[in-house]
């Protein structure tokens, strides 16, 4: 029979083990993911963009995407399509205020921004996908979508802080649609089509570490200076000569949700461009840390319960046979 002392001792022991497991779980926050050394990305410099939208057409062309039907908004006949969708992976949006006459000015000004996948360093879409249909390339960091693996749950749509993945509801076999940095073109020595056609180098393709150096160079320029900008891809031979502008002191994508491989420069604050302020820590990291804690937390009660069951079982077992027991009696002694 289990005595009260044994019961108490067992309870304390199992509770200690359970508490230790829980404490260990709380201490283990998931590490931040580093940017791959060879990460590829884009730099969009809104001060260089002239709003020609060649990048939208080129993106549709190389990705074989159909035309998007857009209801034109009164007073906004320029923006069509209005947003990315199952048929459009890249759009240029325009900020306007007052007379809208002055480029990259807040008051009475206008400015352009690009909307497409940011290729996050720690992508929420990858973390949320239950079947690994969204994956991040370990070498170039491109966030890739596999239509074969996708089960259509749309968790990635809900998880993306930039609202990028779109589900093609209006097709017989719906799938997720998002920019994959034109990776299908690399084997032929080509690169992102939106960057290749951009006449001013406003959209520039390259390794993210090189793009960051270009960002630092541009930020150090004196506004109004005549400047040579790389055009197409960084390290290529094409150039564009322009006049440097004043930038807001923020590189969008440098820190947002743990960093992204696509970076944005602008002459007007990013909140005016519908680029949301986001924390530095990725939602993927936060949710995975919480998950680990919950699972660890669930282990503790099971360990506690298991300990109590073991104690109870031990108390109910038959007593061990004693050496004085006679052979052949029913108490389990040696023959
Ligand atoms: S092609 Fe270049 S300049 Fe033209 S809209 Fe696109 S980013 Fe702007
Ligand atoms: S922007 Fe959205 S879809 Fe693109 S990698 Fe980040 S989480 Fe995924
Ligand atoms: S990288 Fe390719 S898929 Fe992505 S926005 Fe540019 S053209 Fe479109």
Q: For residue range 12-25, list pLDDT tens digits in order.
A: 444 444 444 444 44
Q: How far is the CA of 328 from the centre of ligand 2 (A)?
A: 76
Please report the pLDDT score of residue 269 as a whole number. Answer: 98
Rounded CA gap, 59 and 90, in Å?
7
* 68 and 16 inside one domain: no
119 Cβ closer than 6 Å to some ligand 2 atom: yes
* 240 and 113 inside one domain: yes
Q: Which atom of ligand 2 is nearest to the CA of 165?
A: 3
19: in domain: yes
pLDDT tens string 235-250: 999 999 999 999 999 9
Give, using CA atoms, the residue closest to atom 8 of ligand 3: 59
* 11 and 104 inside one domain: no
* 165 and 237 inside one domain: yes
* 204 and 103 inside one domain: yes
333: in domain: no
Q: How many CB atoms lie within 10 A of CB 286?
A: 16
117: in domain: yes
pLDDT at 183 over 90: yes
Residue 83: what are its φ and ψ, rounded to 5°? -155, 165
Residue 44: what are its φ and ψ, rounded to 5°? -110, 120
**Of the listed ranges 100-104, 158-162, 287-291, the one predicted with least confidence:** 287-291
325: in domain: no
Q: Which atom of ligand 3 is nearest to the CA of 193?
A: 7
> What's 161's domain CATH number?
3.30.70.20
Rounded mean pLDDT, 29-54: 95
For residue 184, give the ligand nearest its CA: 3
**SS3 call for 325:** coil
Number of domains in the chain: 2
94 Cβ closer than 6 Å to some ligand 1 atom: no
Specify the higher pLDDT residue, 115 or 29. Answer: 115
115 Cβ closer than 6 Å to some ligand 2 atom: no
pLDDT at 325 over 90: no
Rounded CA gap, 70 and 100, in Å?
23
* 127 and 252 inside one domain: yes
329: in domain: no
**Of the listed ranges 70-79, 87-96, 168-177, 286-295, the one predicted with least confidence:** 286-295
Please report the pLDDT score of residue 33 as a whole number. Answer: 92
Provide the percentage of residues in the chain whose pLDDT is more than 90. 70
* 273 and 304 inside one domain: no
Rounded CA gap, 93 and 261, in Å?
20
The domain in which residue 298 lies consists of 4-30+287-316
């Amino acid at each position: 029979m289990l005595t009260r002392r044994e019961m108490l001792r067992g309870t304390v022991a199992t509770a200690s083990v359970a508490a230790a497991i829980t404490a260990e779980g709380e201490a283990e926050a998931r590490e931040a993911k580093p940017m791959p050394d060879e990460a590829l990305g884009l730099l969009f410099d809104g001060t260089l963009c002239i709003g020609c939208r060649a990048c939208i057409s080129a993106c549709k062309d190389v990705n074989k995407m159909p035309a998007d039907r857009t209801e034109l908004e009164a007073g906004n006949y320029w923006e069509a399509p209005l947003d990315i969708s199952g048929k459009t992976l890249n759009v240029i949006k325009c900020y306007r205020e007052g007379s809208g006459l002055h480029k990259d000015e807040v008051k009475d000004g206008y400015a352009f921004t690009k909307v497409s996948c940011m290729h996050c360093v720690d992508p929420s879409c990858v973390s949320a996908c239950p079947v690994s249909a969204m994956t991040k390339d370990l070498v170039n960091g491109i966030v890739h979508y596999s239509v074969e693996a996708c089960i259509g749950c749309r968790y990635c749509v809900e998880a993306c802080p930039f609202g990028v993945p779109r589900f093609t509801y209006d097709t017989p076999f719906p799938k997720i649609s998002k920019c994959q940095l034109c990776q299908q073109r690399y084997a032929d020595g080509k690169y992102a089509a939106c960057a290749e056609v951009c006449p001013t180098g406003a959209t520039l393709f390259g390794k993210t570490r090189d793009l960051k150096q270009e960002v630092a160079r541009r930020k150090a320029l004196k506004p109004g200076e005549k400047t040579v900008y790389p055009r197409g891809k960084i390290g290529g031979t094409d150039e564009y000569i322009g006049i440097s502008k004043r930038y807001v002191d923020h590189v969008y994508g440098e820190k947002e949700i743990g960093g992204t491989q696509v970076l944005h420069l602008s002459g007007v604050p990013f909140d005016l461009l519908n680029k949301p302020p986001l924390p530095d820590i990725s939602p993927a990291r936060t949710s995975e840390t919480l998950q680990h804690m919950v699972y660890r937390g669930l282990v503790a009660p099971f360990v506690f319960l298991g300990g109590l069951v073991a104690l109870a079982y031990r108390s109910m077992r038959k007593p061990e046979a004693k050496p004085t027991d006679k052979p052949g009696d029913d108490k389990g002694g040696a023959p």
